[in-house]
Structure 1
Amino acid sequence: MSTTAIVAGPDEDGIGDALEAEGVDVARVNGVLSRPTLEEAGVLEADLYVLTDIDQATTIPIVCDLNDDVRTVAYGERTVPEFVRGQLDLALDPQLMDAALVAEELVG
């Protein structure tokens, strides 16, 4: 069974490509993210939700509400708001951790 991930937001640091290189099926979503958009992208079955647009941090509680088993990751330079930290599994800065290393750790 393959791992599935949603990469939400712009992916300037290449986390989506790095996950694909590790054999992950990646769906990408951009713009203003809503519950229907996330459901359409496959959030109900996703193993990983990787948020690259910290302005969309309100999606973390939505994702956790829709999928109890999803691992949530913030991969961006900005600090994640306090109100989502309790539901976030991992927060990483691309300047400190290369996308390939992050993908390897998430899948391995």
Structure 2
Amino acid sequence: MNAIVAGPDEEGIADALEAAGVTVTRLNLDGHVTRPMLEEAGILEAGLYVLTDVAESTTIPIVRDLTDEIRTVVYDRNTIPEFVRGQLDLAVDPRLIDPEMLASELVTDPDE
């Protein structure tokens, strides 16, 4: 599975996903994540998009516009804006679930 982790990764979700066998592309740039950045990072081939900064929530509708074949996850302590909630598969507060546990859940086939 390929995943894109966008935003600062202070909790270490990208490392946890890699330890679980996922190929991770990190987008933790200063500034905003854009559609061209997502396309260049391989969003069309990714099975998972993890956002770690709700300030970049507008990327969720962009990802959904590009592909419906992806799981979208927000892993942040802050509240998700209302306009994103209907397009999001999962929102997790890092204070409740550690990155290793989340990674193990995310790499499990949802059809099993």
Distance 1:55 1:39 in 2: 20
Spell out the pairing of 1:1-108 with structure 2 (5 A cutoff).
3-30=1-28, 31=30, 32-108=32-108
**RMSD after superposition:** 0.5
TM superposition score normalised by structure 2: 0.93
Q: What is the CA-CA distance between 1:67 and the residue it aligns to? A: 1.0
The AA in structure 1 aligned to 2:93 is D
Task: Indicate the percent of aligned positions where both proteins have the same amino acid.
Answer: 65
Q: What is the CA-CA distance between 1:87 and the residue it aligns to? A: 0.4
Distance 1:46 1:53 in 2: 19
The AA in structure 1 aligned to 2:7 is G
Contact kept in structure 2, 1:75 and 1:93, CA below 8 Å: yes
Distance 2:99 2:25 in 1: 16
Q: Structure 2: which 5+ runs fail to align?
A: none
Distance 2:47 2:107 in 1: 10
TM superposition score normalised by structure 1: 0.97
Distance 2:101 2:68 in 1: 25
Divergent runs of 4+, >6 A: none
What is the count of residue pairs matched by the alignment? 106
Q: Structure 1: which 5+ runs fail to align?
A: none
Distance 1:83 1:93 in 2: 18
